[in-house]
Amino acid sequence: MNQLQIRPKGVSILGWLHLIGGLLGVLFMASFSMHPALKETTEGLREFGLAPWFVLLSILFLFTIGLGSGIGMLRGKKWGWYLGSFYYVYSVIRNVTALWTISALSTELEGELDSMNRGVEYYYAKHILRVLLHSAIYLYFFRSNVRVFFGTETTKMTSLILSQVGICLVIYLVANFLV
């Protein structure tokens, strides 16, 4: 980062959101790991066919990336840009895969997706909105002033995007084989 370059406001906002969200998430996970409700939660995950250790590890992974990217973005580090942009690619792919599973889950649970009796439309809308929002934020990382601030203006964006998507798909495939 050029020391004379002023941090874009959007980077400041995202950096603080990532830092606070990641820190609170890691603290929550640490306190939840000692909470009596963990046993009930892990039993519920097993009934649903999910490995509790994997779900908790996945959540911790997201919080850690959020915390790290927040620190990196606020410090104007190139790795903060890479972690932050990766976070949004991962989030888009995670929400797209959630869209694929909504109908299967609603059939399996016979329409009882949650205690508030929200139908599948709610979940489709929620994940579609997340895909759109996170895609827009991902595109923000490619604005020229943001790239100049982080010193990524010479990075080949096509290969970077393909690499990030590829890494996310590998994570997704490995996760499906582990669970």
Rounded (10°) angle between helices 9-32 and 52-75: 150
For residue 111, the 8-state DSSP code is T
Cβ proximity of 60 and 29 under 8 Å: yes
Structure confidence at residue 56 (pLDDT):
79
Q: Is pLDDT above 90 for 121?
A: no
Domain extents in the chain: 9-178
Q: What is the pTM of this model?
A: 0.83
Question: Is 70 exceeded by the pLDDT of residue 40?
Answer: no
**CA–CA–CA angle 130, 123, 120 (5° rounding):** 155
Task: Determine the pLDDT at residue 45.
Answer: 65
Give me 121's structure tokens: 């439309």
Give pLDDT tens digits for 155-165.
899 999 999 99
Confidence of residue 3 (pLDDT cuts 50, 70, 90): very low
Instruction: In whole angstroms, give the CA distance from residue 59 to residue 106.
Output: 23
So what's the pLDDT on residue 2? Answer: 47
Q: Identify each DSSP E strand in the chain by its residue range.
A: none
**pLDDT value at 42 more than 50:** yes
Regarding predicted confidence, which is higher, 31 or 167? 167
CB 74 within 8 A of CB 18: no
pLDDT tens for residues 48-101?
Answer: 666 677 777 888 899 999 999 999 999 999 999 999 999 999 999 999 988 888
> Per mean pLDDT, which range of 7-21, 83-97, 113-127 is the poorest?
113-127
